Structure 1
Amino acid sequence: MEEAMIEDIIRQVMDALREKEQVNNAFPVEASARHVHLSPEHVSVLFGPEYEMAKKKDLSQPGQYQCEERVTLIGPRGVIKGVAILGPPRIKTQVELSMTDARVLGVNAPVRESGQLEGSATIYIATERGVIEAKESTIVAKRHIHMDTRDAQRFEVVDKEIVAVRVLSHRPLIFDDVVVRVNDSYRLSMHIDFDEANAAGYTQGVFGEIYK
């Protein structure tokens, strides 16, 4: 069975589970692997002028997708190959790692919300065609929940509020310091990185609930 077909089946099952679990005030938890968001300028350097990235698959957040292309990250101590690129392009290049990835590369990546890049780590990004020095680009993404305004009302939270979340896995774990991000373009889900996912015994289809 082709990968795209499998992904479509998974998405349909997840949608059905979301509808079922919303009654119980739970929400899906997703593990986010290391990835890169590139600026148009850096796309040109790494892949060629006026290059158009090829979409591989859509992601859970509307308008977001994974590209076919991959890059290599180069730090003072190590290299990580085959890193995914997410689209669409952004104004400024952003690299999102786990703490383990940051140690492998030898960069001091701060825990930040997406887009908060001032004073963040610098890293080199390479392809067969070119290499860039991505200054103040690299963070460990702060764990967060995406939701729209209706979900925020249902959960009785507001944008930027900090909450605790209990992950309902076979190895339950309560995550503190989770930021709520409210926007009507968002789809309900919590994002954690692979370090956090492994600690919680994460498997695809796991849900979480705000812990009070």
Structure 2
Amino acid sequence: MKITVGISNKHAHLTQEQIEALFGKGYHLTFFRNIKQPDEFVSNEKIDVAGPKGILKDVRILGPAREKAQIEMTLTNARAIGVEAKIRVSAHVEGSSGVTLIGPAGQIELKEGVIAAVRHLHMTPDEARTLGLHEGQRVAVETSGERAVIFKNVIVRIDELFSLELHLDTDEANAAGLKNGDEVTLV
């Protein structure tokens, strides 16, 4: 089965309280563009993310606001700013590293929330039933081309709002020579 690839660059998910601390009281994220997952969008807003060794500039915030903050970055990004990015499923930030978030109206210390998202496969319950897969299952996908690889330990994520797509970060995609919209095969 062919599955479309979605490549995730560094980005932030923030609470409404954090958005207001960084952009001003009463501030709400503004729409920039849709992403394939229908319940989220890329906002116009960007922040800087500071660690002990450096700063990641212009990190986009994804909307809508969430209940818990999460800063997603590659392992390369994390090393560059001197933090550890634990490889985690989205929203599982307990015990992860913290950073300083810098916005136009202020800055905040995030005690935890830095992760490198585990490679994962989004799908609907119907697609999961058709494929015989269940939430949290680990599968493998194969790429093609000059730098073909098999990605193992891809976590299956199931939700009514999901659109079938393999999510990789830029480190993984670059290593396999992939770009957004390329296709991989479930093996």
TM norm structure 1: 0.86
Which aligned pairs between 1:49-68 and structure 2 lie closer than 5 A? 49-68=25-44
Q: Work out which of the residue numbers 32, 55, 58 in structure 1 matches 2:8.
A: 32
The one-letter amino acid of 2:49's match is: L
More relative contact order, 1 or 2 (CA 8 Å, 6+ apart)? 2
- Richer in helix (by share): 1
Deviation string 1:46-98 (CA, Å, 9 cap, x unpaired) is: 00111011100011001210000110010000111011110000011110010
Larger C-alpha radius of gyration, 1 or 2?
Answer: 1
SS at match of 2:139: strand
Residue 165 of structure 2 corresponds to: 189
Is 1:205–2:184 an aligned residue pair? Answer: no
Q: Supply the distance in 1 between the matched residues of 2:181 and 2:3 (Cα, whole angstroms).
A: 10
Residue 151 of structure 1 corresponds to: 127
Between the aligned residues of both structures, percent identity stands at 37
In the TM superposition, structure 1's runs of 4+ consecutive aligned residues that sit over 4 Å from their partners are: none
Q: Compute the RMSD of aligned alpha carbons.
A: 1.0
Which structure 2 residue ranges, 5 or more long, are not aligned? none
SS at match of 1:150: helix
Q: Supply the distance in 2 between the matched residues of 1:91 and 1:167 (Cα, whole angstroms).
A: 35
Which aligned pairs between 1:1-212 and structure 2 lie closer than 5 A? 25-211=1-187
TM norm structure 2: 0.97
Aligned residues: 187
The one-letter amino acid of 2:168's match is: I
Deviation string 1:117-142 (CA, Å, 9 cap, x unpaired) is: 11011011101210011111110100
Q: Supply the distance in 1 between the matched residues of 2:82 and 2:150 (Cα, whole angstroms).
A: 29
SS at match of 2:129: helix
Cα pair 1:168 1:206 within 8 Å, conserved: no
- Richer in strand (by share): 2
Which structure 1 residue ranges, 5 or more long, are not aligned? 1-24
SS at match of 1:115: coil
